[in-house]
Structure 1
Amino acid sequence: MSDPISRLDQFRADTPGAPMKSAAEVRQRGDQIRRRQRALVTAGAVALAAVVAGPIIFLSAGFGERAIEPQPAPAPTPSQTPSTVAPSPSASTPVSDLTRANLPAEDDMVAEDPYPQWVQAQTYDGEGKGDYNECLPALADSDALATFRRDFTPQAGQEYADSAGTLKAVVAEFGSADEAEKARTKLSAAASSCAAVDGTEVAGSLPVEGGVVTGGDINVVTYLPEDDSTNARWEVATAVVAVEDRLVVLTRRRGVQDYVSPTTLQTSAVNAAYRLVGSSPPPATASSSASSSASSSASAPAAILSDAHLVVAGSLPGLPMEGESSAVWQQVAPQPTPTLYCQGAWLSSLKAAESVSREFRLENGGSQIGKVNVTVLEFAEKENADAAFETVHGWLDTCPASMDDAKLFTARPVESIAIGTTPEIDRAAQTLAEYAGDCGGEGCDATWYDHQTVAQLGTRLVLVTHAEAGGPCPPTTACPPEEASDYTDWDRRVAQTVEATVDRAFQDLP
C-alpha cells in the first residue's frame, strides 16, 4: 500500500562520498583485455592510412569517428603485384568476451526497507528459460553478441519476504557502442509502454546516472492481474543501462497497491554498470537503503512526513469475539490492495508532495476478521490538498474502483463527520461499503463492512479504512440488529480507529 511521492527530478544515483575514479579509468582497468585486441586492429588501420595517404587532419567529428573520407591507395606499378591476403576475421567479426563475472552480485542489489536482502536464485548462459520481463522483446532480436542472466529472490524465511517480489538481471554485449545505444533506446521504449501486456498504466520513471554509466533510465508500469476482484496490481520496474558497447537490464516485479519510486533500483543499476566493465562498485554506491536515502536527501528538501505520523497497532480497538475478549492487531507488509476500497485511481494521481502508509490485519483462528489501512498525504499548497479532498470525496460517493459490481454495494451515502481531535480538523467525510468476502471459491454469506474516511487539516490529508468481517449480519451486538443500541459498539470501534489515526497524522500541525 506504500505510495511514497518523491521529488524524482532532484534525485541522483551518484552518491557523494569517497571520490570515484573517472569512467575512462574504470573502463581501462576493468576491460583492458577485451579492448586490447580491438585497439591493435584500430592502430594498425590508422598506421596503414598514414603510410598510404600521408598526414590526415581529423575534423570536428573527433578521433575514432569518420572525420573525412579515406583516400584510395595508389594504383600498383607494373612491377608490383596486388596483395591477395584475405582480411583477418577478427577485424570484421566482433568477438565477445562477456562472461558470468559481468553479472551483478547479491551485494550490488539494494533491498528496500523493510524487505530482506536479495539473494541469488539462478544464473543462466543466455537469456534463460521464460521471459524475464513481460514488456520487453528478446535481446537476441537486437543482435546481441552474448547474453547472461541472473535471478534474485528475497532471502527466504525473513519477514516480508513473501511480498518483496523478484529481481532479474540480464547483461549483453554488442558489436559497437552505437548498437548498444540503439538496443537501449528500443528496450526503454518497450518498457515505458509495455504494449505487450493489456491494460498497463504508466506509473513513473527515473534516470540512471553516475559512475561508468553511458546512459540509462528506469520505467515503471502497472497492470491488473487476471483476477481483478481485489483491485491488486502488478508493478514492473525496468532499468535499461548502457556502458559503451554493453548493456544491463534489471527487472523488479511485485504486487503493489500504488506507485513506489524505484530509487533503490536506481542505485542497483549503477552498481551493475560497474560489474559490466569488470570492476567493483565503489563504497559510495554500496547496496544499502541508507546510502540510497542519503544521496536523495543531499539534494531534496527535508521530509515533513515520517512513520511518526502513522497510527500504531496498540491504538486500534479490539474486536469482541466468541470465547475471548479481543484479538491483537498486527502491522503487515505493504499489501497489493488500495488504501480505500472505493479508491478510483492511484493515490499518486493526487499529486501529493509526500506520503506515508501503513496496514494492519486482525485474525482469529487463521481467518482474517479485521483490516485497517492508513495513508497520510502532504501537499505543497493548501489548494492542492483541497482539490485532492474533493477527488477522494467523489470516490467515496460513487465507488468507481475496478471491481465486480455484483460483489459490491454501498450501505449508505458519503456524509460529513466530526472527529474529536486536537488540533481541530478542517473537514472529514465517511462512507460504509459492503462487499463479499473470500470463501475460497465456494458460495457463502461472508461480507466485509468497510468504513472509509478522508480528513483534512490545511495541506495534509489522511485516508483511513476500518473494515470488519461479518455475514449474514453486520458486526453488531444483535443479529439481525433491531435497535440503534445494537450498533453502538461497532460505531465506537470505527470512531476510535479514525480518531487515533487522525490525531497521530496531524500531531505536528498548529
Structure 2
Amino acid sequence: MSDPISRLDQFRANTPGAPMKSAAEVRRRGDQIRRRQRTLVAAGAVALAAVVAGPIIFLSAGFGDKAIEPQPAPAPSQTPSTVAPSPSASAPASDLTRANLPSEDDLVAEDPYPQWVLEQTYDGEGRGDHNECLPTLADSGALASFRRDFIAEAGQEYADSAGTLKAVVAEFGSADEAEKARAELSDAASSCTAVDGTEVAGSLPVEGGVVTGGDINVVTYPSEDPNTNAGWEVATAVVAVEDRLVVLTRRRGAQDYVSPTTLQTSAVNAAYRLVGSSPPPATASSSASSSSSSSASAPAAILNDAHLVVAGSLPGLPMEGESSAIWQQVAPQPTPTLYCQGAWLSSLKAAESVSREFRLENGGSQIGKVNVTVLEFAEKENADAAFDTVHGWLDACPASLDDAKLFTARPVESIQIGATPEVDRAAQALAEYAADCGGEGCDATWYDHQTVAQLGTRLVLATHAEAGGPCPPTRACPPEEASDYTEWDNRVAQTVEATVDRAFQDLP
C-alpha cells in the first residue's frame, strides 16, 4: 500500500455533516445510473445441484387451507384456464407477455422429486393466491403481470410430496420502482406476517447472468394435521431484472430445512426469460436433473462460497474499554459492492460471480462495512476490460457524486497486496462521505477503502469502510504523524489480503 503520510496534507477536518442517504435512496441512485439492457449476458450461471441435508417427511393429505388472514385476493375466474387481467395488466406502457414466464425446461427439480410440469397459465396474478406471505404485485405498483403454475410430473415417485411451484412475472414503470417492490416483497417473504406461527428457516442470494438483484427466503409454519410431524415450507425467490420482477414460490410439506439451491438456479433461468432471452445451456434444468450426455458435458462451476472471505479472517476494530468489535456476515444488501460503483456488476458480463457482505456494530451503531464480490470471466481479455472499467469507477466515482456529499481523500492508485498467489494488478481509492445521523446534523463520516484486484480471468472487488469523524479512524485525532495511520492501514491491508487469498486460492 502507499505511504499513508501522503494523507496528512489532504485530510479535511470539516467533514460534511449532512446525513448519508437511506438504503432506499442508495437503490434509487443505482437505478438512475443503470442502463436499460435487454441482451443476454455472454455466459450464465451454472446449474446448482441440491444436496438433501437430512430426512424429510412430507404431508400426504395435500395442501389444505390454513386458518390465516392473507391479503385480499380477487375472486376466481369462472374459466380457470383464463383469468381476466387486472386493469394494470392492460396498461399500454408495458410490453410484458406470457413469453416472459419461465417454462418447464427452466425449472430444476430437487432430487429425488420428478420434473416440474405446467399446470396452468394466467393473465394477471390469477386468484392472487400464489404466495400466502406476499401482497399482490398490483398493490406493489405493477403495470402488468402474468402467472404460471407448475406441479410435479404425475405418476412419478414422490410426485405427491413434491409440492407446487408458482411463477409470477411483472413489469413496473421504472427500474427504481421494480427494485423498491423487490425489497418490499423480499421483506414480506422473510417475515411472512400474514401467516400465524411462521419461523425463518434460511435464505440464499440470487446472483449472476442478467440478475439485477434478488434473494430467496424460506419460512415454515405448523401443519394443522395433528397426526403429522411435518410442517409447511414456503420458499420465495424475488428477483429483479431492470424494470421487471419474477417471483417463484415453492410450497411443500417438510420436516427438515434443505437449502433451496435448485430454486436458486431456477430463479436465474427465469430471469433470462424475463428479458426475452434463453438461459445459457449450462443452467438448463435437464443438465441438473438428469444424467443425460448433455449434463455430463456441461462445464462445472468455478466459483463457490469457498472463494469468499469469512468473518473470522477480518480484523477487529479496537474499541475504547473493549478488545475489539466482531464482524458479522449479513444477508445480501440492496446496495452496490463499491460505493463508487458506476453500474450494476452485471454490466461487466462475468461468467460467474459470488458475493458476501459483513457489518460491524457497537452499541447498536454500525461502525464497519465489508463487501466482497469475486468475478470469473470467460476470457482474460474480458477480465482486463472489466478491471479497467472498475478502475474508472474508482477514479471518477460516478455513482455517488450526483446526489451525495462526498469527497475523495486521494485518487485511485496502484497497490501491492501481500497475498499468495501474487496478483497481476490491483488498485485502491479512499472515498469519504457523510454518515447517517438520524436526520440530524453531525460530523460522522465513513472512510471507505475500495479495492479491485486481478489475477488472470478473475477479479476481486472489496470494500473496507470504517466510521469516524471529525477525524478518520486513526490512533490520534487529529493525526499528526505517519504512525497514527499504521493501525488503520494494517486493518485495511488485512481485509484485502484475506479476501484475495480466498478468491485466488485455486489459481496457479
Distance 2:399 2:245 in 1: 40
**Contact (CA 8 Å) 1:188, 1:219: kept in 2 or not?**
yes
**Deviations 1:416-463 (Å, cap 9, x if unpaired)?**
001111221111100000011111222221110000001111111111
Distance 1:476 1:45 in 2: 42
Structure 1 residues 131 and 496: alpha-carbon distance in aligned structure 2, compared to 1, 3 A threshold:
same
Shift of 1:201: 34
The range that moved more, 397-406 or 476-485, is: 397-406
Indicate whether 1:246 and 2:229 are aligned: no
Structure 1 residues 368 and 290: alpha-carbon distance in aligned structure 2, compared to 1, 3 A threshold:
farther
Shift of 1:307: 1.2
Structure 1 residues 29 and 427: alpha-carbon distance in aligned structure 2, compared to 1, 3 A threshold:
closer
Distance 1:58 1:255 in 2: 5
Distance 1:284 1:116 in 2: 20
Shift of 1:394: 0.3
Percent of matched pairs sharing the same residue: 91
Distance 1:20 1:509 in 2: 39
Shift of 1:466: 0.3
Distance 1:181 1:167 in 2: 23
Structure 1 residues 235 and 475: alpha-carbon distance in aligned structure 2, compared to 1, 3 A threshold:
farther
**Deviations 1:250-304 (Å, cap 9, x if unpaired)?**
6999999999999966987999999999999999999999969999966631011
Q: What SS class does the counterpart of residue 133 from structure 2 fall into?
A: coil
Q: What SS class does the counterpart of residue 44 from structure 1 fall into?
A: coil
**Contact (CA 8 Å) 1:430, 1:453: kept in 2 or not?**
yes
**Contact (CA 8 Å) 1:15, 1:284: kept in 2 or not?**
no
Spell out the pairing of 1:62-461 with structure 2 (5 A cutoff).
300-402=298-400, 404-461=402-459
Structure 1 residues 31 and 16: alpha-carbon distance in aligned structure 2, compared to 1, 3 A threshold:
same
Q: What SS class does the counterpart of residue 35 from structure 2 fall into?
A: helix
Shift of 1:331: 1.0
Shift of 1:363: 0.8
**Contact (CA 8 Å) 1:258, 1:347: kept in 2 or not?**
no
Distance 1:19 1:408 in 2: 11
**Contact (CA 8 Å) 1:370, 1:468: kept in 2 or not?**
yes
Structure 1 residues 235 and 350: alpha-carbon distance in aligned structure 2, compared to 1, 3 A threshold:
farther
Structure 1 residues 440 and 106: alpha-carbon distance in aligned structure 2, compared to 1, 3 A threshold:
farther
**Contact (CA 8 Å) 1:170, 1:249: kept in 2 or not?**
yes
Distance 1:349 1:366 in 2: 35
Structure 1 residues 341 and 91: alpha-carbon distance in aligned structure 2, compared to 1, 3 A threshold:
closer
**Deviations 1:3-33 (Å, cap 9, x if unpaired)?**
9999999999999999999999999999999
**Deviations 1:473-506 (Å, cap 9, x if unpaired)?**
1101111111111111000100011111111111
Structure 1 residues 135 and 389: alpha-carbon distance in aligned structure 2, compared to 1, 3 A threshold:
farther
Shift of 1:308: 1.2
Structure 1 residues 441 and 220: alpha-carbon distance in aligned structure 2, compared to 1, 3 A threshold:
same
Cα RMSD of the aligned pairs, angstroms, is 23.1
Shift of 1:306: 1.4
Structure 1 residues 207 and 491: alpha-carbon distance in aligned structure 2, compared to 1, 3 A threshold:
closer
Structure 1 residues 380 and 115: alpha-carbon distance in aligned structure 2, compared to 1, 3 A threshold:
farther
Higher relative contact order (CA 8 A, sep 6+): 2
The range that moved more, 140-149 or 404-413, is: 140-149
Shift of 1:392: 0.5
Structure 1 residues 18 and 148: alpha-carbon distance in aligned structure 2, compared to 1, 3 A threshold:
farther
Aligned residue pairs, count:
508
The range that moved more, 255-264 or 146-155, is: 255-264
**Contact (CA 8 Å) 2:342, 2:398: kept in 1 or not?**
yes
Distance 2:371 2:258 in 1: 17
Structure 1 unaligned segments of length 5 or more: list them: none
**Deviations 1:97-136 (Å, cap 9, x if unpaired)?**
9999999999999999999999999999995999999999
**Contact (CA 8 Å) 2:58, 2:230: kept in 1 or not?**
no
Distance 1:260 1:410 in 2: 45
The range that moved more, 94-103 or 226-235, is: 226-235
The range that moved more, 66-75 or 442-451, is: 66-75
Structure 1 residues 453 and 50: alpha-carbon distance in aligned structure 2, compared to 1, 3 A threshold:
closer
Shift of 1:507: 1.2
Structure 1 residues 155 and 461: alpha-carbon distance in aligned structure 2, compared to 1, 3 A threshold:
farther
**Contact (CA 8 Å) 2:37, 2:242: kept in 1 or not?**
no
Distance 2:221 2:124 in 1: 28
Shift of 1:366: 1.0
Q: What SS class does the counterpart of residue 71 from structure 1 fall into?
A: coil
* Structure-1 residue corresponding to 2:13: 13
Q: What SS class does the counterpart of residue 325 from structure 1 fall into?
A: strand
**Contact (CA 8 Å) 1:14, 1:209: kept in 2 or not?**
no
Structure 1 residues 14 and 84: alpha-carbon distance in aligned structure 2, compared to 1, 3 A threshold:
farther
Spell out the pairing of 1:481-496 with structure 2 (5 A cutoff).
481-496=479-494
Shift of 1:173: 20
Structure 1 residues 503 and 157: alpha-carbon distance in aligned structure 2, compared to 1, 3 A threshold:
farther
**Contact (CA 8 Å) 1:172, 1:246: kept in 2 or not?**
yes
**Deviations 1:109-167 (Å, cap 9, x if unpaired)?**
99999999999999999959999999999999999999999999999999999999999
Structure 1 residues 255 and 422: alpha-carbon distance in aligned structure 2, compared to 1, 3 A threshold:
farther
The range that moved more, 161-170 or 43-52, is: 43-52
**Contact (CA 8 Å) 2:221, 2:231: kept in 1 or not?**
yes
**Contact (CA 8 Å) 2:88, 2:143: kept in 1 or not?**
no
Shift of 1:358: 0.9
Q: What SS class does the counterpart of residue 414 from structure 1 fall into?
A: strand
Q: What SS class does the counterpart of residue 340 from structure 1 fall into?
A: coil
**Contact (CA 8 Å) 1:329, 1:360: kept in 2 or not?**
yes
Structure 1 residues 103 and 12: alpha-carbon distance in aligned structure 2, compared to 1, 3 A threshold:
farther
Structure 1 residues 292 and 417: alpha-carbon distance in aligned structure 2, compared to 1, 3 A threshold:
farther
Distance 1:321 1:53 in 2: 40
Shift of 1:383: 1.1
Structure 1 residues 302 and 40: alpha-carbon distance in aligned structure 2, compared to 1, 3 A threshold:
closer
Shift of 1:372: 0.6
* Structure-1 residue corresponding to 2:45: 45
Structure 1 residues 286 and 303: alpha-carbon distance in aligned structure 2, compared to 1, 3 A threshold:
closer
Shift of 1:49: 55
TM-score, scaled relative to structure 1: 0.49
